[in-house]
Structure 1
Amino acid sequence: MTLPEPTPTSNSGAARQWTAGEKHLITGAAALAPSVHNTQPWVLEFHDEHISLYERLDRALPHHDPVGRDRLISCGAAVENAVSAMRILGWLPAVRLRHDPAHPDEVARITVTGRAEPSDVERHRHRAISARHSHRGPFAGRAMENDLRRELLGAHTVDGVGLRALADPEEVAALARLVSHSALVLRADHAYQRELTAWTAPVREPMPGAGVSSATRRVSTLPWAGLVRRTTAIPDIGFLADRLSREFLVLVETPDDGRHDHVRAGMAAEQVWLAAVDAGLAGSLLTQPFQLPEVRAGLVEKLALSGFPQLLLRFGYL
């Protein structure tokens, strides 16, 4: 899916009526956000001066995502893309995360606060939305420049989210052990495998919301790539650690582990991923291992984290 070119609008006034073109651009950007098993577990509602994003509980994955953490991370990425589209349209959006018992499925409310021309960075990030995709294989051997690594670590603007690059050999080895453990557990989990099969589309490039591609069945996907099937080959830990050491790995953590923390983690991850795409990198987002309590506890212990690990981003060149 390619985003349409935005229609120029004036720089004054407040939004009262969303045009069909504005709605199309914003919903199209949200639809291109990464989501767990490509379930697209959200829906947008347009109001006079704000947009509400609701999580879709009918897209729940009880075996992969029993507490809905991945669903909220996905919603956070969709919020970020919607905000990006609003900025391209010349609106100044303000995001307020919601947890109203009267509307428990409302995740975020994006309010229009004024008008302003988008910056060059915002234009670049918006163009990257259409180019972003999940690369589940290994990367090329080209090393990433330190300046680019630092740039990506500073690419997000979401309060309450921390980014940590994993480069120390002991940290990478610990991650390899935990990823390998989670892969073994998930490969043997029949309920999880049935759920993954149910969300596997019989096409190479599924539409947004239609599940993951059946092409992954025929690819020998190693367990860091985000999909573990019954046929996934799980290498020895030394081999896995060696492969991980060649990638730029970014751990996303939050000080707490509530709904808002999960949404913020998704927003920050999407900002960093779009910055990486704009810099010519490929990447993917890994949450599967974080569903196992022992993996999250192991990361906290081995990496001496002060917060809660939510997801892992991996980047490299093709």
Structure 2
Amino acid sequence: MTGWTMAEKNMLAVAAAAAPSVHNTRPWTLELGGERRVAEIYELLDRALPRHDPLGRDRLISCGAALEHVRVAANVLGNMTTTELFPDVTQSGLAGRVTATGKAEPSDADLAAHGAMSRRRSHRGPFRRTRVSTGLTARILAANRTDGVELRVVGDADAEAVANVLGHSALVLRNDGAYQRELNAWTSSVRDPLPGDGVSAATRRTATLPWVGLVRATTAVPDLPTLVERLRAELLVLVQTPDDGPADHMRAGMAVEAVWLAAVGAGLAGAVLTQPFQVRESRAGLIEALNLNGFPQILLRLGFPRHHSEER
């Protein structure tokens, strides 16, 4: 097979750029093969967030989301593909590779996911009170094709445990001066910053959990009963992996992005929360409270949007 054409390279690059990332740091670079139809995601260590993400977990989750976008775009271009994580340990920073192995018609799911990429945004506001049906939930979750990732819907019985984690983590992060300085450094002055330019300053005006993923010094933390009530009104999906290594973080990013794109295609809005799991005791407490058999990586909140309060 010949290498990528210029038009194909552009489509792959646009797809990668549309992926979500922690604090909109875009901590990856895309390398496209010359004579080979290969697309590689390299982790950018200089986009580190030492206070928010000291172990680089969220950075690799972001790289996983970008790899999922590249995989979908390559499939839409009419390719059969294989996806590998950390395929060559001699290549510093190489996190994932998509290789075209032959020709194939794109699936309806990949076409829909590709179409949703440009519409996907992080919805920081409240959802409509309309509940997501069980059938729609099942169809959305079925978009996850990544082995080694378990998706668990947070039921009403789980809501109090999750609310405790969100509330405690918010208080810790709200009072962490170093964390707040880092977040401010990655807050753009424009409403819709480009990928890699940080989060929108508009998030400063969104002040109540769980309708924000960003905890600022001014964030108002609701009391536990209020937070539980809000959580029960949303579709919350807990993304967990059996282990907690770099490959697990990449897989979590791939899985959550596949589900998020499927949700957007179905008319839903969403946002991911990873900050609470950066507080060690919160993460450990959730594992114990929900009797998890793995490691929680991401909380994806979904619902029908009420208005356009969005950012990358």
Equivalent residue, structure 1, for 2:310: none
- Whether 2:51 is the aligned partner of 1:45: answer no
Aligned residues: 303
1:24 to 1, 4, 10: 10
Report the Cα offset of residue 178 of structure 1.
0.9
Equivalent residue, structure 2, for 1:8: none
Report the Cα offset of residue 91 of structure 1.
1.3
Gapped regions of structure 2 (runs ≥ 5): 306-312
Q: Which amino acid aligns with 1:31?
A: A
Which whole-Å CA distance do the structure 2 matches of 1:257 and 1:109 have between them?
A: 21
**TM-score of the pair, normalised by structure 2:** 0.95
Equivalent residue, structure 1, for 2:149: 161
Query: Is contact 2:116-2:265 (8 Å) kept?
Result: yes
- Whether 2:198 is the aligned partner of 1:175: answer no
- Whether 2:198 is the aligned partner of 1:211: answer yes
Equivalent residue, structure 2, for 1:148: 136
- Whether 2:280 is the aligned partner of 1:293: answer yes
Gapped regions of structure 1 (runs ≥ 5): 1-13
- Whether 2:83 is the aligned partner of 1:95: answer yes
Which whole-Å CA distance do the structure 2 matches of 1:57 and 1:119 have between them?
A: 34
Query: Is contact 2:126-2:211 (8 Å) kept?
Result: no
Q: Which amino acid aligns with 1:158?
A: T
1:268 to 250, 255, 265: 255
**TM-score of the pair, normalised by structure 1:** 0.93
Which whole-Å CA distance do the structure 2 matches of 1:104 and 1:185 have between them?
A: 34
- Whether 2:295 is the aligned partner of 1:308: answer yes
Kindly tell me: are residues 99 and 299 of structure 1, through their superposed partners in 2, closer, same or farther at Cα, counting changes over 3 Å?
A: farther
Report the Cα offset of residue 223 of structure 1.
4.4
Task: Give per-residue Cα distances to partners, 1:132-187, cap 9 Å, x unaligned.
Answer: 10001111101211101122222200000000001133x10111011000000000
Task: Give per-residue Cα distances to partners, 1:26-46, cap 9 Å, x unaligned.
Answer: 111111111000000000111
Which whole-Å CA distance do the structure 2 matches of 1:219 and 1:119 have between them?
A: 38
2:20 to 28, 34, 40: 34
Task: Give per-residue Cα distances to partners, 1:206-247, cap 9 Å, x unaligned.
Answer: 011110001111232424521000011111011011000000
- Whether 2:54 is the aligned partner of 1:66: answer yes
Identity of aligned residues (%): 57
Which whole-Å CA distance do the structure 1 matches of 2:205 and 2:144 have between them?
A: 35
Report the Cα offset of residue 52 of structure 1.
1.4
Equivalent residue, structure 2, for 1:185: 172
Q: Which amino acid aligns with 1:215?
A: A
- SS of the residue aligned with 1:131? coil
Deviates more, 1:243-252 or 1:118-127: 118-127
Query: Is contact 2:67-2:96 (8 Å) kept?
Result: yes
Q: CA RMSD, aligned part only?
A: 1.1
Which whole-Å CA distance do the structure 2 matches of 1:167 and 1:262 have between them?
A: 24
- SS of the residue aligned with 2:98? strand
Query: Is contact 1:179-1:224 (8 Å) kept?
Result: no
Which whole-Å CA distance do the structure 2 matches of 1:120 and 1:179 have between them?
A: 36
